[in-house]
C-alpha cells in the first residue's frame, strides 16, 4: 500500500477514489499542522496539496516521497527544482479551476459597475444613497482579454450575452484561430487604448512580470478598469498608482505576494479586493481533487507523464510543448494503427526550432510505449537506428506563419508492403493543446483529449446525420465535432469527441453505413 497524505481542505472525492482503487492508504487531515503530519507519516509516498508550501526541507524529511500533486494550476508553492533533484515528480491539475476564475471575473465587473459592495454596506447602515451609487452597464462595452487559454476563452464565452466587443491578445494563437473564437485579434497597445475593461489571464514568468507597464497604463481610457485574477506581479502597481486618480481608473484584484493574513501592498489602489477566491468554489475543489487522484493513479499504472511539471527541460523551452510533442505522436500512432514505421519526419516552427532534438524524445515516447521518456537524445537516435527507422528533421519556412507549432509525419508499411503516410500539426496555448491539421485537412483546431472518432469519406450529404444517429442509438453523446472538406480530393473528415468508448462492432457499423474509407477511434 502506498501512503498518500492530503494535509489540506480538499474535497473528499480524492481520498474516496484512491481508497476505492485499493492500492493506496490515504491520510486526509487539514487540522493538524503540516510539520506534525510529516513527522507522524515519514513513509508518505505521495502528497496532495492546495496552497501549502512543500519546501526542500519537507521533501528531505519524507525519504519515501515520490510524487507531489498540486490540486490546482499554479505550483509556485512547491520547490520543483529540489523535487527533481530528489527524483520526485510534481504534477498539477490545469483547467480544473478555470470556470471558477472566469465567473469571478464577471462577478467583479458587475459588482464594481453597480457598486454592490458599497450599496450593501450603505443600506444596512440605514442610508438611501441612490444618487451617489449611480452605476454603469456592462452591455455594449469593449472588453480586452490578455491571454486566451482556458480561463480567457471562458471569460469571452460568458460575456457573449452582454453584447460586448471582445478584443483578445495571445502571442501563441494565430489570428484566424482567435477570430474563430468570436474574438477580435488585437495587440496589447490596441487593447489598453480601446477597452473599457481589461482582464488578465497570463501566467507569471519573466516575460509577463510587469507586463501591464507604465506605457500601457498611459494608453488607457478615462474610467477604464483592470481586473487581475491571474498572478501578482503582472501589473506594475506603482505605475498604476501614479495615474489612477487622475484618469479615474478602476482596479479589481484577487492576487497578492502571499496568500495569507496581513496588510496588502495594493490596498490603496484596489477598488475591490478578494482573498484569492477564483478557484474557491465547491465545483472547482471537486474537479481539482478528482483530477489529482486520477493523475496519481495514471502515473503509477500507465506511466502517464502528461501532468508532470518538473521534468528536466532546456532553458527557454516551455514544458507544454514537450507534452504537445508526446500527444501528437500518441494521436498519429493511434490513427495509423500498430504498423511498422519506416520513416519519421518532423518540423519544429517558431521558437521550437532550436529544441527539435530534445522534443524528439517526447515524440518517440508517444509513438512507442516502451520508449522511456527520460531517455536522452543519443538514446532516441540509437532507438531509431536499431529499429531501421529513417529520421528527417526538415528545414522550415518561417513565412508560413505557423507560430510555435510541430508537424509530425510518419510513413508506415502495410501488410501488402505498400506505404502509407500520416501527418498531424499542432500547437499549444497556455497548456491547452490544439491539433490544427490532420493529413490534408487544415484548420481543425480541436483539443486532443478523451475518446475521439475519425471518419474519412467521399464528401456527400447525409453522412454526419447518419453517424450522429448511430451514436445516439448507442447512448453516446457528441461533446465536440469538426467536419472539414478538401475541395481537391473531394473528401471530408468527420471528427467527433465523445463521452464514451465505442465498441468495435459500432465502429464497423458506422464505417459500413456511410461507406467510409476509414473509421478510427482514439483515446488520448
Longest dimension (CA), the chain: 86
Is 276 an active-site residue?
yes
Nine-digit cell string for 81: 527544482
Grid cell, residue 522, equals: 482514439
Residue 295 designated active-site: no
Number of domains the chain is built from: 4
In a domain, 519, yes or no: yes
Judged by DSSP in three states, 461 sits in coil
Q: What's the full length of the chain, in residues?
A: 524
Pairing of strands 2-6, 491-498: unpaired
CATH number of the domain residue 356 falls in? 3.30.1330.90
For residues 319 and 309, is the Cβ–Cβ distance under 8 A? yes
Both 338 and 295 in a single domain? Answer: no
The whole-number pLDDT of residue 381 equals 87
- Under 8 Å between Cβ of 141 and 161: no
Residue 278 lies in a domain: no
113 with 253, same domain?
Answer: yes
| Separation of alpha carbons 162 and 160, rounded Å | 5
Q: Is residue 64 part of a domain?
A: yes
Q: What is the CATH number of the domain that holds 522?
A: 3.30.70.260
> Are 116 and 241 in a shared domain?
yes
Short-list 123, 208, 196, 211, CA closest to 159 = 196
Q: Distance between CA 414 and CA 341 in Å, rounded?
A: 10
- What distance in Å separates the CA atoms of residue 74 and residue 149, rounded to the nearest whole number? 14
**Helix residue spans in 314-437 (DSSP H):** 319-336, 356-367, 377-386
Alpha-helical (H) ranges within 86-174 are 98-113, 116-124, 150-159
Indicate which residue of 246, 261, 395, 398 is catalytic: 261
Q: For residues 343 and 362, what is the distance between their CA atoms, to the nearest angstrom?
A: 17
- pTM given for the model: 0.58
- Choice among 70, 153, 201, 231 that is catalytic: 231
110 found inside a domain: yes
439 plus 325 within the same structural domain: yes
What element of type H or E holds 492? strand 491-498
Query: Do 118 and 226 belong to one domain?
Result: yes
Whether residue 206 is found in the same domain as residue 84: no
Note whether 11 and 105 are same-domain residues.
no
pLDDT at 370: 66
Residue with grid cell 474610467, as numbered in its chain: 223
> Are 366 and 472 in a shared domain?
no
- pLDDT given for residue 371 in this prediction: 76
b/e for 466-485, b at 16 or more Cβ within 10 A?
A: ebeebbeeeebeeeebbbbe
pLDDT score of 171 = 67
Distance (Å, whole) CA 393 – CA 466: 41
Residues 6+ apart with CB under 8 A from 172: 403, 404, 427, 428, 429, 430
Q: Are residues 166 and 254 in the same domain?
A: yes
Q: Is 280 exposed, middle or buried (0-12, 13-18, 19+ CB in 10 A)?
A: middle
DSSP code for 275: S
Assigned domain for 212 exists: yes
| CB under 8 A, 24+ apart: contacts of 14-17 | 14/48, 14/71, 14/289, 14/290, 14/292, 14/293, 15/293, 17/290, 17/293, 17/294, 17/297
Question: Do the Cβ atoms of 305 and 30 come closer than 8 Å?
Answer: no
What is the DSSP pairing of strand 197-200 with strand 225-228?
A: parallel
d(CA 174, CA 109): 28
**Residues spanned by the domain of 453:** 449-524
Q: Tell whether 151 and 117 lie within a shared domain.
A: yes
Name the CA dihedral angle for 79, 148, 443, 308, rounded to a multiple of 10 degrees.
10
Q: Are 479 and 450 in contact (CB under 8 A)?
A: yes
User: What is the reported pLDDT for 379?
Assistant: 74
Per-residue pLDDT of the chain (524 residues; tens, 9 = 90+): 999 999 999 999 999 999 999 999 999 999 999 999 999 999 999 999 988 999 999 999 999 999 999 998 778 789 988 898 888 999 988 778 889 999 999 999 999 999 999 999 999 999 999 999 999 999 999 999 999 878 999 999 999 999 999 999 986 566 777 888 899 989 999 999 999 999 999 878 777 889 999 999 999 999 999 999 999 999 999 999 999 999 999 999 999 998 889 999 999 999 999 999 988 899 999 999 999 999 999 888 877 766 777 766 666 677 788 889 999 998 898 888 878 888 999 999 998 988 888 899 889 988 987 676 656 677 788 888 877 889 999 888 766 677 899 999 999 888 888 999 999 999 987 668 899 999 999 888 888 888 999 999 999 999 999 999 999 999 999 999 999 998 888 999 999 999 999 999 999 999 999 999 889 898 87
Residue 41 annotated in active site? no
pLDDT, position 43: 96
Catalytic entry in 21, 136, 276, 319: 276
- If asked whether residues 462 and 442 sit together in one domain, one would say no
List the beta bridge partners of residue 46. Answer: 4, 67
- Is 194 found in the same domain as 168? yes
Vertex 440 angle, CA 342 and 509, to 5°: 85
Domain with residue 246: its CATH number is 3.40.50.720
Is 116 inside any structural domain? yes
Closest-CA residue to 101 (of 138, 76, 73, 120): 73
pLDDT at 483: 92
Amino acid at each position: 500500500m502506498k501512503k498518500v497524505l492530503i494535509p489540506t481542505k480538499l474535497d473528499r472525492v480524492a481520498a474516496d477514489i484512491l481508497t476505492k482503487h485499493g492500492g493506496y492508504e490515504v491520510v486526509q487531515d487539514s487540522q493538524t499542522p503540516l510539520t506534525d503530519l510529516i513527522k507522524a507519516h515519514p513513509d508518505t509516498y505521495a502528497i496532495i496539496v492546495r496552497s501549502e508550501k512543500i519546501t526542500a526541507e519537507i521533501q528531505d524529511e519524507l525519504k519515501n516521497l515520490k510524487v507531489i500533486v498540486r490540486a490546482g494550476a499554479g505550483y509556485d508553492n512547491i520547490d520543483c527544482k529540489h523535487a527533481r533533484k530528489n527524483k520526485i515528480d510534481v504534477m498539477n491539475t490545469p483547467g480544473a479551476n478555470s470556470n471558477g476564475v472566469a465567473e469571478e471575473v464577471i462577478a467583479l465587473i458587475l459588482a464594481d459597475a453597480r457598486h454592490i459592495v458599497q450599496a450593501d454596506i450603505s443600506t444596512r447602515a440605514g442610508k438611501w444613497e441612490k444618487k451617489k451609487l449611480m452605476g454603469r452597464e456592462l452591455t455594449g462595452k469593449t472588453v480586452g482579454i490578455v491571454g486566451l487559454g482556458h480561463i480567457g476563452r471562458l471569460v469571452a464565452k460568458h460575456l457573449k450575452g452582454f453584447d460586448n466587443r471582445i478584443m483578445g491578445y495571445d502571442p501563441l494563437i494565430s489570428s484566424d484561430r482567435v477570430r474563430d473564437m468570436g474574438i477580435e485579434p488585437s495587440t496589447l497597445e490596441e487593447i489598453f487604448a480601446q477597452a473599457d475593461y481589461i482582464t488578465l489571464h497570463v501566467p507569471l514568468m519573466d516575460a509577463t512580470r510587469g507586463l501591464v507597464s507604465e506605457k500601457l497604463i498611459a494608453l488607457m481610457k478615462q474610467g477604464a478598469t483592470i481586473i487581475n485574477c491571474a498572478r501578482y506581479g503582472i501589473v506594475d502597481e506603482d505605475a498604476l498608482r501614479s495615474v489612477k486618480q487622475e484618469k479615474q481608473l478602476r482596479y479589481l484584484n484577487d492576487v497578492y505576494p502571499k496568500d495569507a493574513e496581513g496588510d496588502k501592498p495594493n490596498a490603496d489602489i484596489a477598488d475591490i479586493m478578494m482573498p484569492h477566491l477564483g478557484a474557491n468554489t465547491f465545483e472547482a475543489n471537486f474537479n481539482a481533487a478528482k483530477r489529482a487522484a486520477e493523475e496519481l493513479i495514471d502515473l503509477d499504472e500507465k506511466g502517464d507523464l502528461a501532468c508532470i511539471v518538473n521534468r528536466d527541460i532546456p532553458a527557454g523551452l516551455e514544458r507544454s510543448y514537450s507534452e504537445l510533442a508526446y500527444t501528437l505522436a500518441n494521436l498519429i500512432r493511434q490513427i495509423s494503427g500498430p504498423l511498422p514505421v519506416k520513416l519519421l519526419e518532423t518540423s519544429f516552427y517558431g521558437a521550437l526550432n532550436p529544441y527539435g532534438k530534445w522534443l524528439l524524445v517526447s515524440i518517440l515516447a508517444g509513438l512507442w510505449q516502451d520508449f522511456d521518456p527520460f531517455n536522452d537524445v543519443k538514446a532516441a537516435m540509437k532507438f531509431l537506428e536499431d529499429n531501421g527507422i529513417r529520421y528527417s528533421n526538415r528545414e522550415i519556412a518561417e513565412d508560413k506563419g505557423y507560430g510555435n507549432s510541430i508537424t509530425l509525419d510518419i510513413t508506415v508499411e502495410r501488410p501488402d508492403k505498400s506505404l502509407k503516410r500520416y501527418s498531424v500539426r499542432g500547437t499549444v496555448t497556455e497548456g491547452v493543446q490544439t491539433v490544427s491539421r490532420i493529413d490534408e485537412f487544415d484548420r481543425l483546431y480541436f483539443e486532443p483529449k478523451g475518446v475521439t472518432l475519425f471518419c474519412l469519406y467521399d464528401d456527400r450529404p447525409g453522412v454526419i446525420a447518419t453517424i450522429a444517429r448511430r451514436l445516439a442509438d448507442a447512448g453516446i453523446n457528441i461533446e465536440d465535432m469538426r467536419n472539414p472538406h478538401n475541395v481537391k480530393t473531394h473528401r471530408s473528415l468527420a471528427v467527433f469527441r465523445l463521452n464514451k468508448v465505442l465498441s468495435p462492432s459500432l465502429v464497423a457499423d458506422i464505417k459500413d453505413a456511410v461507406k467510409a474509407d476509414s473509421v478510427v477511434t482514439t483515446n488520448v
